Structure 1
Amino acid sequence: MDHLRLTIPFESPMLTTTNHDRYRVGLTHVYPVLSRRSGGLSIGVNLNPNNACNWRCIYCQVPNLQRGAAPEIDLALLERELQGFLDDVLRGDFFASFQVPEELRTVRDIAISGNGEPTSSEQFPEVVDLIGRVVAKAGLAAGGKLVLISNGSLVHKATVQEGLRRWGKLGGKMWFKVDSATDAGLERINNAGISAAKLRENLETAAGLCKVWLQTCMFSLDDEPPTFGECQAYVKLLTDLLDKKVPIQGVQLYGLARESQQPEAPLLSALPSEWLERLAADIRRLGLTVNVAE
């Protein structure tokens, strides 16, 4: 394979936690991120370069977001990009070129994420196999380094379940989006078109196929934090899951760090760290691990 040439921006090559530009290295599907939640370099795999998603979260940073699904993926192109990029990171001058601090010069994870819901790709199982193949060839230990970031709304589909099963066999984990445990909250925050009961059913299914963490974004809307009722419903969901012995690994709790590109952006603001820590304490009392990123 020819060595991949990365397009390094002239003015601001430094990677930061607030710039998650999917195209900053000139590739279609692969992009670098300094991730708050991963605590270092995350290599993103974008299956939605068409900016299409079946949800429209009001805090979403994707510009020109549209309703829809992932397009057909050129798997050969994705494999070339991922293999070439990994080679540049592991054996090239990527870290120096992008001014990554010495203490962060390690691959924390490879994350299927991007500009829409990745499991909407009909090729999702094939993408999982592809990532496993490239990671093995690169000599990178896959265990714990593979992350799928998903809204979980398509877990009922056979192709998605097969992909999750293969992901689990690779040691991959899923960050399953749960921003609300109520029907009203899901509609207000995610424009999800799915009930809380169905999302919970999908969550239970996913947890039986691979390791699952909940990922939850909390913020103020029109200067009002989530209501007591919303927080109570969220904690009750976790309690019910634990009572049913659903093997949830923990919660990734985070706030707003980047500006929304949705019409509701002027209404959104970050919560104080104390607010997030109070909710985290309530969750920890259930016996769950919580990672907080403001």
Structure 2
Amino acid sequence: MKTLQSTLLLFLFVPLIKPAPPSQQDSRIISDYGTNNFEETLFSQDYEDKYLDGKSIKEKEAIRIPDEKSFELQKDESTIPLSPKKENDEMPTCLLCVCLSGSVYCEEIDIKAVPPLPKESAYLYARFNKIKKLTAKDFADIPNLRRLDFTGNLIEDIEDGTFSKLSLLEELILADNQLLKLPVLPPKLTLFNAKRNKIKSRGIKANAFKKLNKLSFLYLDHNALESVPLNLPESLRIIHLQGNNITSITDDTFCKANDTSYIRDHIEEIRLEDNPIILGKYPNSFICLKRLPIGSYI
């Protein structure tokens, strides 16, 4: 009897129970999910169109289905050493400095030694650095150099033979350094500037300038010279010796004591001011000159 009652109650309530309709939120989720899938499909197609359209079919196939031979070929190619690039050996210097038509500008970059130079270099400007020494190796393979400018460094020493192979060198500038003596100078110099150093007379050999038959400009002012350098060449036009410790000169300093007819034609200027010398005491020392030296006469 109880079973029959339960069955009747079940039949009565079953029609009242209905499945709930999908909520608005669920439909939105389903819709969004479908949209995302659709966008992903479009994106993948667009990617293939943009990035794979230009590639050959063989490349696509090789990427998708690599065979053993192609894999071995790729492996072999990857292990083949690449041939070295033919770069300019001096490129690092030309990145550090500025190289332009045979001129190398290495100014104010705090280098402590002469960098490797391009072999075709003719002009080097290495002013205002921290170079302390010049060596024979610095210019051994640079035979075309015509001008070297080391103004404003810390050069104390120059090795013998540093300039021996520079047969074309015309201008050598060593101003504002710490030199105590002069190196052997190349024969074709037209200008030598070593002003504002610490050079004494004993630091200049007796024949240091004798064979420099093309030397026109000599600047040795503001050093520690006690006398005028000997055997100055006939080619000199300008001589700057001011600001030294020169105390005397002789009849052979600029002229020839035994030849009163000798005239020194080329000299245009001799500066001897700011030296402890009274030039008026040595009148015979200037008889061969067209112009008197600049300095104190009384």
Q: TM-score normalized by structure 1?
A: 0.32
Higher RCO (CA 8 Å, separation ≥ 6 residues): 1
Q: TM-score normalized by structure 2?
A: 0.32
Larger radius of gyration: 2
Which is richer in strand?
Answer: 1
Which is richer in helix?
Answer: 1
